[in-house]
Amino acid sequence: MELGIDSFAAVRTKDGRTSTPDERAQAIEELLTRIELADEIGLDTFGIGEHHRPEYLDSASHILLAAAAARTKNIQLLSAVTVLSAADPVRVFQQLATVDLISKGRAGVVVGRGSFSEAFPLFGYGFENYDALFEEKLELFLKIREEENVTWEGKFRPALSGQGVYPRPYRDKLQVWLGVGGTPASVVRAGVLGLPLMIAIIGGETHRFRPLVDLYYRAGAEAGFSQDQLMVGVHSLGYVAETTEQAHAEFYPGYARTFTRIGMERGGGPVTPYGYQAQTGPTGALVVGSPQEVADKINRHSEALGGLVRFQLHMNVAELSHEQLIQGTRLLGEKVKPALD
């Protein structure tokens, strides 16, 4: 199982105020420092999301990946996720192919529709076309991956009539995963296309996603793909510290504030200690604890879902300091990874 980190490039401020230019620049430098550390200690992957909100600095995640590519040697660098529905697949491919060249074959992309809505109105798209946009743009993106000169016609973008798309990546095929949040139609799409599946499990009980994994494998098999060609990964929230007590004491306050705010935006309620305890229990989605506890829970997640090829831990959703994220990154590489099955 590959082990890595996902980040939303959060900028940490006090009292909810707007960040200053110096704070934003420092947050990006600290992010790149953590990616360098992840590379040095042998983590397999580092993914950067895409958001268009003031608390995150990843609206141009491919540029961040390019900067990381120039400062690392071995780690795979992923956009996780690229909101393909609101982007031009040609430009996305060109940008990621460039990252792949800088990194000599270490770039990849998790494509999805995103968990926040800001990208759609920002780039002039309507939610009535939510699924149709993604389906069409994914089709074009995969066609570009296969063909240097592309002939294609769709509804939402001008047609291509044999134009070349450059540069081509370092490898023959750019690594493409399909990111999903739990919609059956999405996992079927991944299976039919034979794409690796990255499931974002940010709440609930992980084992309840097993029927979706089984559905993915069935769809892939019916489309002619062997099980060896179909791969499943998980993106989960959590944090690792030296002790259980330290991990919860450092993670919970910021996690509660972040997800209470998001819950209020979406018509939900606040995070409570009881709900948090359920999420961090043996079957809950949150992965928080000492290195051995985190390793044990990742192994349980993998077993519950029939075997994972990749696990991405997302730590910076809890207003953690750079020093705490450095600690978590180091422990993940030095103590958690050796303990995985």
Task: Report residue 199's pLDDT band, with 50, 70 and 90 as the boundaries.
Answer: very high
Tell me: the pLDDT tens digits for 23-40? 999 999 999 999 999 999
Domain that holds residue 188: 181-306+319-341
Structure confidence at residue 263 (pLDDT): 87
Distance CA 122, CA 116 (A): 12
Tell me: the pLDDT tens digits for 93-117? 999 999 999 999 999 999 998 778 8
Is 262 within a domain? yes
Please state the domain count of the chain: 1
Is 170 within a domain? no
Q: How far is CA 283 from CA 91, 203, 205, 251, 304, in A?
A: 40, 11, 5, 19, 9
Is 279 within a domain? yes
Structure confidence at residue 116 (pLDDT): 80
Tell me: the pLDDT tens digits for 46-97? 999 999 999 999 999 999 999 999 999 999 999 999 999 999 999 999 999 9
Distance CA 136, CA 320 (A): 38
Calculate what percentage of the chain has a pLDDT beyond 90. 90
Distance CA 89, CA 272 (A): 41
State the average pLDDT for the chain: 95
Angle between helices 130-146 and 89-103 (to 10 degrees): 50
Average pLDDT over residues 6-13: 91
Is 10 within a domain? no
Task: Report residue 16's pLDDT band, with 50, 70 and 90 as the boundaries.
Answer: low
Structure confidence at residue 227 (pLDDT): 85
Task: Report residue 269's pLDDT band, with 50, 70 and 90 as the boundaries.
Answer: confident
| Residue type present at position 79 | S
Tell me: the pLDDT tens digits for 144-183? 999 999 999 999 999 999 999 999 999 999 999 999 998 9
Is 17 within a domain? no
pTM of the model: 0.96
CATH number of the domain to which 226 belongs: 3.20.20.30
Is 33 within a domain? no
Is 213 within a domain? yes
Bridge pairing between strands 149-152 and 197-201: unpaired
